[in-house]
Amino acid sequence: MSQGKGRAFCLLLCFCHLLHALLYAGDDGRYPTPEESPAFQTPKFISLPLTRAYPGVEYNARPAVIGGTWPYRFALRAAPEGMTIDEKKGTITWQAPKTDGQEVAVTITATDLAGRKAEQSFNVKVGAAGFRFVSPDGNDANPGTFEKPWKTVMRASQPVEDPANTTLYLRGGTYAVETPAEAGKKNANVLKITRTSPRRWVAWPGEKPVIDLGWSEEQWKAALEAERAKLDEKNKNNANTQSYGHRIFLDQQTDDLLFDGIEVKNAAYYMFVMWDGNRSRLTWRRCHLHHLYGDYAENSSFIFGFAAERKWQGESGEKGGFGVRPLVKPYCHMVVQDCIISDRPYQNLREGAWHGGGLVWYTTQGCLVEDCRFERIERGMAILDKDNGWDNTYRNNIIRGSVMVAAQGCNDGLLIHHNWIDGDVHLGSQPGWLRNVWLHHNAIRGGVSLMGGATRGSGKLDPAGKKMAGPNDPDSLAAIREMPREQRLIFAWGNIVDMPERKPGGEKPIFQRVPADSDFANRYRHVWWDANLVDETAELAVGWGGKYVKWSELKACGFDVNGASGVVVLDDEGHLPADSPWRATYGREAGLTASKP
């Protein structure tokens, strides 16, 4: 598909989201389940298919689907002989013919748990045209063909004739990124991918290409010390390596970028970085991203998309009220599938400080993170949907770290389900609003912060002169219990919450710290929490005075009246024991019966 058609495809989908929102505007935009939300009612393909295959080589692609009721069942309604599809994941494999010229028709169907279907049809053309090659044994003076590949990824990123329809095959081996710094700057070793670069970067089947960005722990520590030495004592905590290069920069107009099967390592501050939104369908699949060295407070992360320009719809361009999204050109339909994201050491002289993490996203819409593993993300969030994220899905991931929906600006329509989260979950943190956050069938070993920090809902309680208190106050409990379900903002069901063991010298693990005043009811009345399994030791810390309330006591305000409490035992992948009576009801195993044909 051409770049123009690709952008039109994204604009059409975004227009459909907007049209749905306008049609349903009368219902206040709150939906207790994702299937009630216009953006999630039915399954839809958000990825563009691969439409070219190299002669004699395996064609391997996986579609990205959101909406409807997961899991999906995939099938090929039309396909050439020998093409197969994985029924659960939708991965298509096919050994392409050895001769040029054949063009085949393919139609994929995705059927959700309720029997609703989505379909994607496309043609795959077999031929050598549109393919370029790079190999550690190549030469940058070569034409970049299979027989005569380029040698470096710097050469491979240079302009090609038809970038939107060009696939770059990377042969196995290590590719060092070596570029000079700009005059007066420290930004060496930056691989720039522009609108004229090949749009698909794919590992040659059966081989492992490694892009080495050239940063190390020793270089990082030395650079931090050098930066601190330049600052007075008052500002030494602000030393950072944000400007030191050693990363991959994704320029404007790079829609439909695909990174498939590539290992990338040794980055400074950011590994993949974008600055201004207005991009669609960037995909990372089967990649291993590891060893990113982060510090200070500018969202050091493996994939970082900084905010697109936002135009608030309030008076004089100020932020609108609750439920008013800004006008923005977002990062649309970003996909991270089957990736491993690991090892982010982090330094900050501020005691207890953290920042950034694995994925940090601003102004994203209709994005998907699924079947990934996050490990060893030091002092940061494995996933941070930070600023104006809408209609995003996070499912079936192994997350050894924490997850945050920060509500900086707003977050609206986030589906987090069937994950193993070996860390805390934060739904709300910064001074904005959130709505339609669905947390279901996750296994969580950690606390869960609900409407936390400075995040707000819609309006405040008027207790008619009563001075309401925390979770021991009958008026507070009644205010939460009597809030209609359809007016709430966070909905959680089917989850398992296990309290981690107390670390030597550490604080007592808690479910959440809550206010001891009327703000407790103001926050929790926006939460619908029912039919979850919570460890019997779970407690709320009330204020900072050393008072605690058992989570089970919140049944008085309607929480988990249909849930369970007991001794929770989870394995290293977040599964209950095979003989557990709770296994079919709570956590990652529950609700996965495939729909019938």
Interval 273-285: pLDDT, tens = 999 899 999 999 9
Give the residue carrying structure tokens 């295959």: 53
Q: Are 412 and 39 in contact (CB under 8 A)?
A: no
How far apart, in whole angstroms, are the C-alpha atoms of residue 244 and residue 227? 11
Residue 184 falls inside a structural domain = yes
Residue ending a domain, among 161, 196, 212, is 212
Largest distance between two CA atoms of the chain:
82
Whether residues 111 and 139 share a domain: the answer is no
Residue 157 falls inside a structural domain = yes
Check residue 260 and report its DSSP letter: E
How far apart, in whole angstroms, are the C-alpha atoms of residue 103 and residue 106? 10
For residue 174, give the CATH number of its domain: 3.30.1910
Domain containing 109 equals: 42-116
Residue ending a domain, among 116, 140, 174, is 116
Q: Which residues share a beta bridge with 107?
A: 78, 121
Helix (H, G, I), strand (E, B) or coil at 294: strand
At 571, the amino acid letter reads D
Q: What is the pLDDT of residue 138?
A: 98
Choose among 145, 65, 83, 52: nearest CA to 366.
65
Residue 49 falls inside a structural domain = yes
Residue 90 falls inside a structural domain = yes
Whether residues 140 and 106 share a domain: the answer is no
Q: What is the pLDDT of residue 307?
A: 87
Residue 415 falls inside a structural domain = no
Choose among 258, 440, 223: nearest CA to 338.
258
Complete DSSP assignment for 152-216: -HHHHTS--SSGGG-EEEEPSEEEE---PPPTT----SEEEE-TTS-SEEEEPTT--EEEE----
Residue 140 falls inside a structural domain = yes
Q: Are 522 and 457 in contact (CB under 8 A)?
A: yes
Whether residues 139 and 207 share a domain: the answer is yes
Whether residues 180 and 148 share a domain: the answer is yes
Compute the CA torsion angle 41, 42, 43, 48 (nearest 10 deg). Answer: -100
Q: What is the pLDDT of residue 24?
A: 37
Q: What is the pLDDT of residue 463?
A: 61
How far apart, in whole angstroms, are the C-alpha atoms of residue 331 and residue 389? 9
Number of domains making up the chain? 2
Residue 522 falls inside a structural domain = no
Reading the block at residue 538, the tokens are 């779970």
Whether residues 152 and 87 share a domain: the answer is no
For residue 89, give the CATH number of its domain: 2.60.40.10
How far apart, in whole angstroms, are the C-alpha atoms of residue 166 and residue 258? 11
At 319, the amino acid letter reads K
Whether residues 77 and 102 share a domain: the answer is yes
Whether residues 154 and 110 share a domain: the answer is no
What tens-digit pLDDT sequence spans the chain (597 residues)? 444 554 554 445 454 444 444 433 335 799 999 999 999 999 999 999 999 999 999 999 999 999 999 999 999 999 999 999 999 999 999 999 999 999 999 999 999 999 999 999 999 999 999 999 999 999 999 999 999 999 999 999 999 999 999 999 999 999 999 999 999 999 999 999 999 999 999 999 999 999 999 999 999 999 999 999 999 988 888 899 999 999 999 999 999 999 999 999 999 999 999 998 999 999 999 999 999 999 988 999 999 999 888 887 765 445 668 888 888 899 999 999 999 999 999 988 676 678 999 999 999 999 999 999 999 999 999 999 999 999 999 999 999 999 999 999 999 999 999 999 999 999 999 999 999 999 999 999 999 999 999 898 887 776 655 678 889 899 999 999 999 999 999 999 999 999 998 877 778 899 999 999 889 999 999 999 999 999 999 999 999 888 999 999 999 999 999 999 999 999 999 999 999 999 999 999 997 874 332
Residue 450 falls inside a structural domain = no
Beta-carbon contacts of residue 218 (< 8 Å; ≥ 6 apart): none
Residue ending a domain, among 150, 185, 212, is 212
